[in-house]
Each structure stands twice: as structure tokens, then as C-alpha cells.
């Protein structure tokens, strides 16, 4: 099956620093990728849609200047958490869809990145 990887799998940083998280589709191309955030014991919340060749689209309430997204190629999207603060500590998950010819394309999820901001 399709594989999506994320790097790093976990990161600890100091408050005020920036952290970059990579999401790669290993065996398929993805013009679109999605970034989710999962708080402990809560569901995944969609943050933004990463679009290759154009700007990301952010969900309501998500600060685009705080969470910078760059879709550098058809297999790579990056999420940079700028000036991180402890409240940004969370589990960040990306996904990428594969076209299936139907109305909805199945998404494949990365293993997630655990961010802890001290």
C-alpha cells in the first residue's frame, strides 16, 4: 500500500524556537497533502491543506503565520511551527490522498510527529 512518512517522529524544543516537520509520500505523488493536529485523548483536527505549486489553505482558527506550510514537490510538504510555545505541544499528523476515480480519494496517513515545547 501507499506509504507516507514523517520526520522527525518526535522533537523537543525550547519556547520561541521554530520547528520544521516533513511529510513525504514515498511511493506516489501527492499534489495535495493535509496537516492534522491531535491533542491528547482528543480527535484529529484538520489544520490546513497543503497544495503543490500554490499557497496552503488554512482552516478557521489556524494562524497561517504561526504554522507555515510549504509544498516543495509532489512528494514533500513541510509544516514549520514558528516561535513555538508550550501550547503548541501536540501530535501533528499529515496525510496524502490517492486518486481512486470516485468522488473521494482515500487518504494515507503518516505516523505523526510528537512536538513538545518546553
Partner 1 sequence: AQSVSQHNHHVILSEAASLELGCNYSYGGTVNLFWYVQYPGQHLQLLLKYFSGDPLVKGIKGFEAEFIKSKFSFNLRKPSVQWSDTAEYFCAVPFTGGGNKLTFGTGTQLKVEL
Residues near partner 1 (CB under 8 A) are 4, 32, 34, 41-46, 49, 93, 95, 97, 102-107, 109-112
Give the closest residue to 117 by CA, choosing from 83, 92, 78. 83
100: left (phi over 0), alpha (psi -120 to 50) or beta: alpha
Shortest distance, position 98 Cβ to partner 1, whole Å: 10
55 grid coordinates: 499557497
Of the two residues 14 and 103, which places its CB atom closer to partner 1 in the complex? 103
- Count Cα neighbours of 9 within 13 Å in the Cβ-side half-sphere: 3
Of the two residues 10 and 83, which places its CB atom closer to partner 1 in the complex? 10
Of the two residues 38 and 82, which places its CB atom closer to partner 1 in the complex? 38
Amino acid at each position: 500500500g501507499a506509504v507516507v512518512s514523517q520526520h522527525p517522529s518526535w522533537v523537543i524544543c525550547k519556547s520561541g524556537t521554530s520547528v520544521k516537520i516533513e511529510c513525504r509520500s514515498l511511493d506516489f505523488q501527492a499534489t495535495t497533502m493535509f496537516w492534522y493536529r491531535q491533542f491528547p485523548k482528543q480527535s484529529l483536527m484538520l489544520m490546513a491543506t497543503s497544495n503543490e505549486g500554490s499557497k496552503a489553505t488554512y482552516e478557521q482558527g489556524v494562524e497561517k503565520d504561526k504554522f507555515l506550510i510549504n509544498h516543495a514537490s509532489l512528494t514533500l510538504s513541510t509544516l514549520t511551527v514558528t516561535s513555538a510555545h508550550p501550547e503548541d505541544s501536540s501530535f501533528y499528523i499529515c496525510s496524502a490522498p490517492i486518486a481512486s476515480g470516485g468522488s473521494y480519494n482515500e487518504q494515507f496517513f503518516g505516523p505523526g510527529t510528537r512536538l513538545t515545547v518546553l
